[in-house]
C-alpha cells in the first residue's frame, strides 16, 4: 500500500505570472524564492523548495498536483499499482526533477479529470533564508479540491489504487481524503461534477491563528480581492474558513484548525453528512457565484506520455 509524507506542491497556470507572484507573496503571505525554470515563479510557506509554482499560461487553473512519497521503495510499489489499474505513468525526467527540486518519482494522470499527478521522494531546500511569516501566520500548504465529471471513479482511483483514506463525505457532493498516513483530515477533496467539466475548485493554506482569518478580510478588501465565501466553519473538518479570489479569479482558501488522524491511534469511521447547507458551513454565510468559477485542469495526453510542462 502506498504511503505518503504530504501534499507536496501545487503547480498553477496563471495569465500574468508577475501579477500572481506579487499577489501570493504580498497578499497571501508566501515567500518568493528563486527557481531554476525560466518564466516560472516559485513561492513557499515552509522550508521546502516551494509549495506552489506559477506557470505562465493562457488558461488559468491547475497544471498539476504533487505528493511526496514516504520513501524510495514507494516508487516501485506505485508503479505496480498503476500498472495493475492499467493507468499510464512515466518516470520524472531529470530535467523535471531539477526544475522542481525533487528526487525521483513518477507522473501519472487521473483518468476522470485528466489531472497530472506527480509522486516524488524528497525535495531540496533552497539557499534562501528560512520562510518567515509576513502578513499571515501560514502553517502549511493545506489541500486542493477538484471537481470530477467521473466522481465515483475518481474517488475510487485515489482510495482503491493510491491508498488515500476517506475522512468524511457530504452525501453525493464531495469526498475529503487524506494521503495516508499523513494525519490531516484532508489533503484532497473530490467534488461531484457529473455532467460538468473537470475543474479546480480551490487551493488551501492553513493558518495558525484565528486572527489570520479576520485580518485577511480587511487586507483582501484593500487589495481588491473578492472574498467569495466566509468567514465560516466547515462541519466535516472543523476548520474555520475564508475563500477569496486571486488575480485570475482562482479560488484560494485560508483555514484555521483541522482534525487529525494519527496512524497509531484508531481512526474514527468516516462520516457521510447530509447534503444540506450546514454541512458545508455551520455559520450559513452566503456564497458568491464567482467561487470556484475559474480553474481549468490542464489536460496532457497520457497516451503520448507528453510532459505537462
To the nearest whole angstrom, how small is the minimum distance from the Cβ of residue 272 to Fe ion? 18
Q: Which 189-218 positions form the footprint of Fe ion (CB under 5 A)? A: 204
To the nearest whole angstrom, how small is the minimum distance from the Cβ of residue 215 to Fe ion? 19
In the complex with Fe ion, the residue whose CB is nearer, 48 or 143, is: 143
Q: Which three cell numbers stand for residue 297?
A: 485542469
How far is residue 211 from each of residues 123, 226, 238, measured CA to CA in Å? Answer: 31, 19, 17
Nearest 10 degrees: CA dihedral of 227, 198, 13, 63? 130
51 sits near Fe ion (criterion: CB under 5 A): no
In the complex with Fe ion, the residue whose CB is nearer, 82 or 292, is: 292
Please state, in angstroms and rounded to a whole number, the distance separating the CA atoms of residues 51 and 278. 31
159 conformational bin, left if phi > 0, alpha if psi -120 to 50, beta if neither: alpha
Task: Give the binding range for Fe ion (CB under 5 A) out of 40-48, 116-124, 159-167, 252-260.
Answer: 252-260
To the nearest whole angstrom, how small is the minimum distance from the Cβ of residue 140 to Fe ion? 13
In the complex with Fe ion, the residue whose CB is nearer, 35 or 191, is: 191
253 sits near Fe ion (criterion: CB under 5 A): yes
31 sits near Fe ion (criterion: CB under 5 A): no
Please state, in angstroms and rounded to a whole number, the distance separating the CA atoms of residues 55 and 175. 28
In the complex with Fe ion, the residue whose CB is nearer, 117 or 200, is: 200
Binding marks (x or -) toward Fe ion, 107..136, rule CB under 5 A? ------------------------------
Pairing of the two strands 271-273 and 164-170 = parallel
Number of residues interacting with Fe ion: please give it, by CB under 5 A: 2
Please state, in angstroms and rounded to a whole number, the distance separating the CA atoms of residues 281 and 221. 22
To the nearest whole angstrom, how small is the minimum distance from the Cβ of residue 253 to Fe ion? 5
**Are 264 and 271 spatial neighbours (Cβ–Cβ below 8 Å)?**
no
Longest dimension (CA), the chain: 52
In the complex with Fe ion, the residue whose CB is nearer, 68 or 253, is: 253
To the nearest whole angstrom, how small is the minimum distance from the Cβ of residue 145 to Fe ion? 6
b/e code 32-67 from CB counts within 10 Å (16+ = b) = bbebeeeebbbbbbbebbbbbbbbebeebbbbbbbb
In the complex with Fe ion, the residue whose CB is nearer, 150 or 204, is: 204
| Site of interaction with Fe ion (CB under 5 A) | 204, 253
Amino acid at each position: 500500500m502506498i504511503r505518503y509524507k504530504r501534499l507536496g506542491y501545487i503547480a498553477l497556470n496563471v495569465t500574468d505570472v508577475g501579477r500572481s507572484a506579487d499577489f501570493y507573496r504580498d497578499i497571501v503571505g508566501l515567500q518568493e524564492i528563486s527557481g531554476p525554470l525560466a518564466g516560472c515563479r516559485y513561492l513557499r510557506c515552509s522550508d521546502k523548495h516551494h509549495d506552489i509554482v506559477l506557470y505562465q499560461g493562457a488558461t488559468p487553473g491547475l497544471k498539476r498536483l504533487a505528493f511526496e512519497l514516504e520513501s524510495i521503495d514507494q516508487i516501485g510499489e506505485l508503479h505496480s499499482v498503476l500498472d495493475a489499474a492499467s493507468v499510464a505513468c512515466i518516470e520524472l525526467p531529470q530535467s523535471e526533477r531539477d526544475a522542481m527540486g525533487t528526487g525521483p518519482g513518477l507522473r501519472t494522470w487521473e483518468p476522470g479529470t485528466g489531472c497530472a499527478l506527480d509522486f516524488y521522494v524528497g525535495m531540496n531546500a533552497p539557499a534562501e533564508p528560512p520562510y518567515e511569516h509576513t502578513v499571515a501566520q501560514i502553517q502549511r500548504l493545506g489541500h486542493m479540491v477538484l471537481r470530477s465529471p467521473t466522481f465515483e471513479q475518481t474517488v475510487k482511483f485515489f482510495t482503491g489504487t493510491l491508498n488515500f483514506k476517506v475522512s468524511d463525505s457530504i452525501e453525493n457532493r464531495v469526498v475529503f481524503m487524506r494521503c495516508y498516513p499523513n494525519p490531516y483530515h484532508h489533503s484532497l477533496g473530490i467534488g461531484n461534477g457529473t455532467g460538468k467539466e473537470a475543474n479546480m475548485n480551490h487551493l488551501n493554506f492553513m493558518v495558525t491563528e484565528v486572527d489570520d482569518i479576520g485580518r485577511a478580510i480587511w487586507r483582501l478588501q484593500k487589495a481588491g480581492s473578492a472574498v467569495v465565501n466566509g468567514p465560516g466553519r466547515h462541519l466535516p473538518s472543523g476548520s474555520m474558513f475564508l475563500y477569496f479570489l486571486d488575480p485570475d479569479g482562482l479560488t484560494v482558501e485560508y483555514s484555521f484548525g483541522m482534525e487529525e488522524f494519527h496512524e497509531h491511534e484508531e481512526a474514527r469511521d468516516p462520516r457521510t453528512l447530509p447534503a444540506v447547507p450546514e454541512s458545508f458551513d455551520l455559520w450559513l454565510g452566503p456564497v458568491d457565484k464567482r467561487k470556484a468559477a475559474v480553474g481549468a485542469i490542464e489536460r496532457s495526453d497520457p497516451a503520448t506520455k507528453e510532459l505537462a510542462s
